[in-house]
Chain A
Amino acid sequence: MRKISMRQAINEALHIALNSDGTIFTCGEDLAAYGGQLRCSYGLLEYFGEKRVFDTPISEAAIIGLGVGASMLGLRPVLELSYIDFIGTCFDQILNQMAKIRYMYGGNVSLPLVLRTQCGAGLGNGAQHSQSLEAILAHIPGIRVVMPSNAYDAKGLLLHAVRDNNPVLFIEHKALYKLKCEVPEEPYECDYTCVVKRRGDHVTVAAYSAMVNQAMKAAELLEQQGVETEIIDIRSLEPLDTDTIIQSVNRTGRFVMLHEACLKGGFGGEIAATVQEACFSRLKAPIKRLGAPNVPVPFAPELEKEFLPGYPQVVDAVKACMQYR
């Protein structure tokens, strides 16, 4: 099967979506002729025209609001927010409008929109263009939060999200855009459940987005030392498939939770607490959480490297768990 990058996969999904349903449109800053600041929307304007593929001014509150209002009337916007760091400029429309309108209206309306954005550090973009803010979003009842870790999942999850009649925050990691894997040409979907990427009996490591690759790398190293690691790619924070994680930890008895976001208040705390409640009697070791230090993302490459969690920390964490028999 051919291998394509996550960027190409998302582009394919967007083409498939716009080609399949006339109520779907996409807009964002520099999205059309420029191909998007996320560089995933190239070609769309040429095929689908400017009624359905268009640029917006730098007005994030109005962009998101446009999506909210249009979706209330039955259109299916796929909005692009250039960086998740910019949610500050449109946060009311996400927090108080998009997430709550359906509930406040007693379920009399649905908001079938997708808000695509990019997160993540590692490319020297500095503190205001590198954050992982999914914990803030996953805390808000009423929105879905999805974070693909690879090209295959990105295409399938995006198509699934477009059909979802709920607002979906679709968070792409900027360091993953160029990574390739096998992706079918035809349309397909992935659902919101976790994926077990690797089977193992000694420890469960759960991660999402760019950290899944780090977990996989750690698992290879650990295998050489006789430790069998089970890796779960969470890929959707809301809805959260706790069953898969709990089943795994009930079997392995050890749990390491990994994300790129700052450790304090990160979504790993939520998952760790949930696992602790469900698996207490089966746990052989304390649960270990890994995340970035609680600092803004630094600019200098040495500091940014220090910021990013990676496979060495995963290896150390697993070994610490394995101390407990």
Chain B
Amino acid sequence: MISKEKLLEMYATMIRIREFENEAIELAKMNLTRAAIHTYNGEEAIATGICQHLTREDYISSNHRGHGHCIAKGADLRRMYAELMARENGFCKGKGGSMHIADMSVGMLGANGIVGAGIPIATGAAFALKYTNTANIVVSFFGDGASNQGTFHESINMAAIYGLPILFVCENNQYGISMHVSQSTSAVNIADRAAAYNIEGHILDGNDVVEIYTKMEAIISGVRANSKPVLVEMKTYRMSGHYFGDSENYRTKEEVSQWQKRCPVLRARETLIREYGMKPQVLDDIWKQEKKRVLAASEAAKYDPSPSPLDIASDVYDPTFKQIQWQPFVG
């Protein structure tokens, strides 16, 4: 049984993610964010539980639904909001936006606007970690939709033949945008595809942070120790629409409310009350604290300056060359 402190920490992280996304939706309603934001509501346990086993020097890669991963990996909330609101002090100087949010300093390789494109990049990062003899790993987060992209196939095969320290995490939230996974995906479980690559596959309840934390400890240690890729499928549900503004005409309210009962944050709360004797009031206070923190970050970011138009062409190219002393080669 995990410690109360650990579960409380994860509870707080999940709330932080939940409130971040809720506030992001409020900002979107006020037209402060531009274009689409893809919120992680309902999936918080996955990023939270997994990132507990990662260090700052481990890397993660993500997709368009990347805020939760970013927060769980330790990115600063205010700079995240600044990026969403296209401000100069955002992680990407306002040049990337929600779908390309990245913070290399906490090992966040980046969200990605192309489904499946982060998977080969994560594989390359894992290659670099092995090449430089570190004990670090990469976690590549992607969805059920991405598991049907060619890059999924190519990357996992490559990671398997090269023995790379990478954990492939498929967050099966049941939907691409509107297409249900049972219609789009031939495999009954995406994790079954691991067998095709001769690697381990696991299926976990993506809405149970205790199960994720507990089971992923050994799995992640294994990836670290053996430098062998593993595919994990997290069964979960996308509580919000694909993006803010989604009509959600492809699913029923009944289905959504059924999954609401399995909300990872509520379940963690129930567990804390039932099994750890926490008082609801104390948990409410934690919730208030996290919400306050999130709103403070959002409020501060609202006053952050926009990038200067003069800045448009900087950062396309790196103006530098590496100093290398070419050694003559006499074969």
Pick from A16, A63, A71, A107: contact of B329, CB below 8 A. Answer: A16
Question: Does B269 count as interface, using CB distance less than 8 angstroms?
Answer: no
One digit per residue, 1 when the CB lies within 8 angstroms of any chain B CB and 0 when it does not, for chain A 149-178 equals 000000000011011111000000000000
Q: Is the CB of A108 within 8 A of B318?
A: no
Pick from A20, A61, A75, A77: contact of B324, CB below 8 A. Answer: A20
Task: Give bound CA distance, A102 to B316, whole Å.
Answer: 7
Question: Does B183 count as interface, using CB distance less than 8 angstroms?
Answer: no
Give chain B residues whose Cβ lies under 8 Å from the Cβ of A64.
120
Give chain A residues whose Cβ lies under 8 Å from the Cβ of B93.
106-107
Give chain A residues whose Cβ lies under 8 Å from the Cβ of B94.
106
Question: Does B254 count as interface, using CB distance less than 8 angstroms?
Answer: no
Question: Does B277 count as interface, using CB distance less than 8 angstroms?
Answer: no
Q: Is the CB of A57 within 8 A of B161?
A: yes
Give chain B residues whose Cβ lies under 8 Å from the Cβ of A75.
127-128, 131-132
Q: Is the CB of A108 within 8 A of B331?
A: no
Question: Does B309 count as interface, using CB distance less than 8 angstroms?
Answer: no
Question: Does B176 count as interface, using CB distance less than 8 angstroms?
Answer: no
Q: Is the CB of B315 within 8 A of A65?
A: no
Q: Is the CB of A20 within 8 A of B325?
A: yes
Question: Does A278 count as interface, using CB distance less than 8 angstroms?
Answer: no
Q: Is the CB of B317 within 8 A of A61?
A: no
Task: Give bound CA distance, A67 to B158, whole Å.
Answer: 13
Q: How many whole Å from A165's CB to the nearest CB in chain B?
A: 4
B300-328 residues at the A interface, CB under 8 angstroms: 314-318, 320-328
Give chain A residues whose Cβ lies under 8 Å from the Cβ of B329.
12, 15-16, 19
Question: Does A36 count as interface, using CB distance less than 8 angstroms?
Answer: no
Pick from B120, B154, B323: contact of A69, CB below 8 A. Answer: B120
Question: Does B236 count as interface, using CB distance less than 8 angstroms?
Answer: no
Question: Does B137 count as interface, using CB distance less than 8 angstroms?
Answer: no
A124-165 residues at the B interface, CB under 8 angstroms: 141-142, 144, 159-160, 162-165
Question: Does A322 count as interface, using CB distance less than 8 angstroms?
Answer: no
Residue in B95, B126, B131, B329 whose Cβ sees the most chain A Cβ within 10 Å: B329
Q: How many whole Å from B122's CB to the nearest CB in chain A?
A: 6
Residue in A66, A67, A74, A101 whose Cβ sees the most chain B Cβ within 10 Å: A66
Question: Does A62 count as interface, using CB distance less than 8 angstroms?
Answer: yes
Question: Does A25 count as interface, using CB distance less than 8 angstroms?
Answer: yes
- A51-B131, A102-B316, A163-B321 known; A108-B327 Cβ under 8 A: no
Q: Is the CB of B321 within 8 A of A164?
A: yes
Q: Please, which residue of chain B has its CB at the minimum distance from the CB of A89?
A: B150
- A25-B131, A106-B91, A107-B93 known; A68-B316 Cβ under 8 A: no
Give chain A residues whose Cβ lies under 8 Å from the Cβ of B316.
102-103, 141-142
- A65-B119, A69-B126, A103-B316 known; A112-B322 Cβ under 8 A: yes
Q: Please, which residue of chain B has its CB at the minimum distance from the CB of A25?
A: B131
The number of chain B residues with a CB under 8 A from chain A is 55
Interface pick from B23-31, B96-104, B216-224, B258-266: B96-104
Q: Is the CB of B158 within 8 A of A20?
A: no
Q: Is the CB of B114 within 8 A of A187?
A: no
Pick from B95, B318, B324: contact of A166, CB below 8 A. Answer: B318
Give chain B residues whose Cβ lies under 8 Å from the Cβ of A16.
326-329
Give chain B residues whose Cβ lies under 8 Å from the Cβ of A306.
none
Pick from B100, B121, B127, B157: contact of A104, CB below 8 A. Answer: B100
Q: Is the CB of A43 within 8 A of B126?
A: no
Task: Give bound CA distance, A186 to B328, whole Å.
Answer: 6
Q: Is the CB of A66 within 8 A of B124?
A: yes
Give chain B residues whose Cβ lies under 8 Å from the Cβ of A19.
327, 329
Known pairs A69-B61, A96-B113, A105-B96. 15 more at Cβ < 8 A?
Answer: A12-B329, A57-B158, A59-B154, A61-B154, A65-B154, A66-B124, A68-B121, A69-B123, A93-B121, A106-B91, A106-B92, A106-B95, A163-B321, A165-B321, A186-B328
5 cross-chain CB contacts under 8 A:
A16-B326, A66-B120, A66-B127, A93-B117, A112-B322
Nearest first, the 3 closest Cβ-Cβ pairs linking A and B are: A65-B120, A69-B124, A106-B93
Interface residues of B (CB under 8 A from A): 59, 61, 90-97, 100, 102, 104, 109-110, 112-114, 117, 119-129, 131-132, 150-151, 154-155, 157-158, 161, 314-318, 320-329, 331
